[in-house]
Amino acid sequence: MSESIGREFMRQSRSEVQGEPPQALGAPQPPLELPYDTAKPLIALPDPHAVEPVDATLLDLIEQRATVRRYTQEPMTLADLSYLLWCTQGVKPMALPDRTLRTVPSAGARHPFETLLLIQRVEELEPGLYRYVASQHSLVALRTNEPSLAGRILRASGSQSQIEMAAVMFIWVAVAERTTWRYGERGYRYMHLDAGHVCQNLYLAAWSIRCGTCAIGAFNDDALNGVLELDDASQFVIYMATVGKRPGA
C-alpha cells in the first residue's frame, strides 16, 4: 500500500531530512509585508483600545466561546473591525529591522499571513474586498463595486450559509516564502499552526464584543485562489472565518 499524502508530508517535512533553508544559504529575507498600491488611499482604522468589550474574564470568554453560524443583520462598526484586526494581526509598536512582533505567536516571528476581508455590512465601508495593512493599522480597498464578487467567493467556499449572513469574512492568505525562508519545507507545518493561533484570537475577541465567529477550512482551493487572484503557489488561502453580531447578545 502506498503511503498516504498526509504521512508523506509529515515525513518529508521532518527537520532531519531537510537541507539547509534559504536563510542559511544566504538568500535575502523576503519583505515583512506585501506592497500595496500607494495610488489607493489608506483607510485609517480607529484606535482598537477605544472599543469597550464585555465585562468578562479571559476564563469566562474561553468557557463561553462557541462557533456561531447565524448572525443578525446589524452592521458592525469600523471600531469593531479595528479591534478584531488588532487582536488577530496587530503589529506591536516595536521598531525591529528584521521582524514584526504581533498580537499572536508565529514561528520565528515570521508572521506569514496577509488578511483579506470580504466586507458586507460594516459601517463607513462599501461592500467589497479589502486588505489589512498591518504595519499601518489601516485598510486598502482592493475591489469594490463588483456585485458578483461575494457570490463567487460563496460558491468557491461550498455555498456555506454563514458566509451570506456574515457582516465580514476574514480570509487569511499565506505568503509561504516568509516562513520557508527560515524553515524550509517544515515551514508549511508552522503556517498551519500559526493559522490556528490567529483564528482562536478572533473567536475570543469577537465574543468579547458580542459577535460570533465560524472558522472555515472547507473550500475549493483552485476556485477561491482564482477569485482572489492568487497564484496558489507563493500565495494561497490557508483559513477563513465569518463574523457577525450574535442573535440575542
Question: Where does the pLDDT of residue 2 fall: very low under 50, low under 70, confident under 90, or very high at 90 and above?
Answer: low
69: number of Cβ within 10 Å: 15
Q: Which residues of 120-134 are buried (b: 16+ CB within 10 A; e: fewer)?
A: bbbeebebbbbbbbb
Q: Which residue has the cell 512582533?
A: 101
Q: Which residue segments constitute the domains of the chain, with CATH numbers given?
A: 42-245 (3.40.109.10)
Cβ atoms of residues 116 and 129 within 8 Å: yes
Q: Which residue has the cell 462598526?
A: 77
Cβ atoms of residues 11 and 107 within 8 Å: no
Q: What is the pLDDT of residues 86-125, one digit of tens each?
A: 999 999 988 788 999 999 999 999 999 999 999 999 999 9
163 grid coordinates: 458566509
Listing DSSP states for 136-165 in one string gives: GTEEEEEEES-TTHHHHHHHHTTT-HHHHH
CA distances (Å), 149 to each of 143, 146, 157, 159, 170, in order? 8, 6, 12, 13, 15
What's the pTM?
Answer: 0.96
Angle of helix 187-208 relative to helix 176-183, nearest 10 degrees, comes to 130
- For the ranges 13-17, 145-149, 179-183, 193-197, the lowest mean pLDDT is seen at 13-17
